[in-house]
Amino acid sequence: MKSELNSLSVRPMLKNQKITGYFNLKNYDNIIVGFELANGEISFMHYSEEEKNNKSFNKWLLNEKDFYTTFILNYFNEITKINEINSFKGMIIGENSVAYSGVQRYVLKVQYEEIPNVMNFIFFPNDGRFELLYQIPIPINSEGGFGSNIYMEEILQKETIQRMWEPFRDKTKYRLQLIQMLR
């Protein structure tokens, strides 16, 4: 059996120690299924009140819930693997500075040797915050499609993010603007 999703979106909720998201099921009238991952347990919910969609959701729940539970757990195991990497090597493959609505941000794209896809660091130094986007390298359907980029800054351990950033802190052309970030 293969996963057959049209989309997969994830958003961590650090305060609650939960990860939430949703996906569209291709083979079940493209219904939207929400999920919540907390303490290694996954729960699913359906957002539609249409009877047709409820029937599709119940059919999916009966037939494929266990498969998709395993799929989502494997998906997040990829994140666990990143947390277990002791040191990172790679190269900056793109960097730019953008001011949008008066907010300065710096975007760095880093290709690591240890992980297959590009990691995107987005820094907002005036606010002292950053975003870290990554696309998990697991296809979500038989056509080879992938889920959307995940905000990793609340999922990865703080120490992991520091290990990822440290080799590039002095290599970016924006090092003076970003010197205090992720210390």
pLDDT higher than threshold 80 for residue 48: no
Q: How far is the C-alpha of 169 from the C-alpha of 40, rounded, in Å?
A: 34
Q: How far is the C-alpha of 31 from the C-alpha of 137, rounded, in Å?
A: 24
- At 65-81, the pLDDT tens digits run 999 999 999 988 888 89
Token pair of 21 as six digits? 């998201």
pLDDT higher than threshold 90 for residue 175: no
One-letter amino acid of 177: Q
Looking at every residue in the chain, the average pLDDT score rounds to 89
Is this model's pTM higher than 0.85 or not? no
pLDDT at residue 39, rounded to an integer: 84
pLDDT higher than threshold 90 for residue 183: no
pLDDT at residue 24, rounded to an integer: 92
